[in-house]
Amino acid sequence: MKTSAIFLFNTIFCKQIVKYFLKNKRLKLNEKQKMLNGELYSAGLDFKLFAERQHCKNLCYKYNNTSPLFMRIRNLLLKRIIGKIGNSFLIEQPFMCDYGYNIEIGENFCSNHNFLVLDSAKVKIGNNVLIGPNCSLYTSTHPLNYKEREVGTELAKPITIEDNVWLGGNVVVLAGITIGRNSVIGAGSVVSKDIPENSVAIGNPCKVIKTIDGI
């Protein structure tokens, strides 16, 4: 009788554990879907998203601690980190991102040291793009209402950098921004509004100061 009772208890307990796991797995998938859909979501309370960030940060750690002489190993690690990248690229160490799979980079890409990408939403970078040192792309943002921030919710909006763009050093690009093709962003700028193509823009907030002629 005692053995039967223990077996029955374990069976019921296991069923409850499986049911709890499946329920919470669906919740975690929903949080990721909310993130990708640009809705309020909880990154800190979702184990799947936490695990994906840890996996990505571990790969970034390996990349950043690989000797600059081992270019082949560095490039292989970058291809594991970044969702889609062209055949011709140089990303100087250190480089950091949150998930990696939301980043798409075209051909002939170059970024200088300390390139940071918070890629909770899609980050699309075109061909022939130059990124100066200490640049940051923030797809992540937070609610203005402090009560929503208190419970750990946040938002993510995509960033697009089109072909032939050059970002000077220490440029910050905020969530939801598009920088048009052939444009140049001056050093130290904070880009909080879309920049049209063929523009030179600078400042905080970043503003267009001239149009590039002859393109």
Q: What is the CATH number of the domain that holds 179?
A: 2.160.10.10
User: Residue 24 has what pLDDT?
Assistant: 52
Is residue 120 one of the residues assigned to a domain? yes
Is residue 15 one of the residues assigned to a domain? no
Q: How far apart (Å, rounded) are the C-alpha atoms in residues 57 and 78?
A: 12
How many separate domains does the chain show?
A: 1
Is residue 13 one of the residues assigned to a domain? no
Q: Are 186 and 168 in contact (CB under 8 A)?
A: yes
Is residue 190 one of the residues assigned to a domain? yes
Q: What is the pTM of this model?
A: 0.84
Is residue 25 one of the residues assigned to a domain? no
Average pLDDT over residues 187-203: 98
Q: What's the whole-number average pLDDT of the chain?
A: 89
Q: Are 135 and 179 in contact (CB under 8 A)?
A: no
Is residue 22 one of the residues assigned to a domain? no
Range of the domain at 179: 38-211
Whether the predicted pLDDT of 8 surpasses 90: no
Chain segment 65-93, per-residue pLDDT in tens: 999 999 999 999 999 999 999 999 999 99
16 pLDDT band (50/70/90 cuts)? low
Whether the predicted pLDDT of 42 surpasses 70: yes
Is residue 116 one of the residues assigned to a domain? yes
Q: Are 140 and 158 in contact (CB under 8 A)?
A: no
* Residues acting as catalytic residues: 142
Q: How far apart (Å, rounded) are the C-alpha atoms in residues 166 and 183?
A: 7
Is residue 24 one of the residues assigned to a domain? no
